[in-house]
Amino acid sequence: MSNPDRVSGLVILDIAPVKYTENDPSWNAVQCIIQTLKEVDLNAGKTKRDVDMELRKSVEDPALRAFVLTNLEVVSTKSQQLRWKINIIAIADQLKRIASFDVHNIDIGGDEESDLQYKGDTFLIKGGASSFVKGSHMPVISKHFPNYMLTTVKGSGHWVHAESPDATLALMKKYLDR
């Protein structure tokens, strides 16, 4: 990290600095959601409820759908034109790079991937029903974040902040108030 003094602590939500592949059902689910959002028709006159109904075909979990819909905004109240607050096209285009933990071509102030290390306090919150952070990931997590602390939110999946917002916020508050 080129300026570690600018970060007093780090919270990571249910992801590890590893390569996720298309063979991983959990990563596949993320790809499907992103692809679904990319294909949603946001024609003028369509409401958030219309988009919710369209998403039900691919995103069955109501909490996850509600989380996804927080990224939708009305651009014009007159025409009821909707748009994504996030750049869904860019995210979809970069999913393979995101999944690969591709840190090459990023100026990190060092020459090797091994230089990617944050030595400050790191709090990793894992969803208990998620497979994004596994026991086999602990060595690489400790390599990149030697001062990490891990906790699990039982019953929550990968979208821990959407599925268990109260528990996630309470844990983050406790960490940030340390």
CB 155 within 8 A of CB 32: no
CB 153 within 8 A of CB 128: yes
Q: What are phi and psi of 83, to 5 degrees?
A: -155, 160
- 164 class by beta-carbon count within 10 Å (0-12 exposed, 13-18 middle, 19+ buried): buried
Per-residue pLDDT of the chain (178 residues; tens, 9 = 90+): 567 778 888 999 999 999 998 888 888 888 999 999 999 989 878 889 999 999 998 888 888 889 899 999 988 777 778 999 999 999 999 998 888 887 665 554 544 445 688 899 999 999 999 999 999 999 999 999 999 999 999 999 999 998 899 999 999 999 999 8
- pLDDT computed for residue 103 by the predictor: 65
Q: Which CATH superfamily is domain 1-17+108-178 in?
A: Alpha/Beta hydrolase fold, catalytic domain (3.40.50.1820)
- Which amino acid would we find at residue 57? K
C-alpha distance across the termini of the chain, in Å: 23
Domain ranges of the chain: 1-17+108-178, 19-100
Q: What are phi and psi of 127, to 5 degrees?
A: -80, 130
Q: Which residues of 142-158 are buried (b: 16+ CB within 10 A; e: fewer)?
A: eebbeebeeebbeebbb
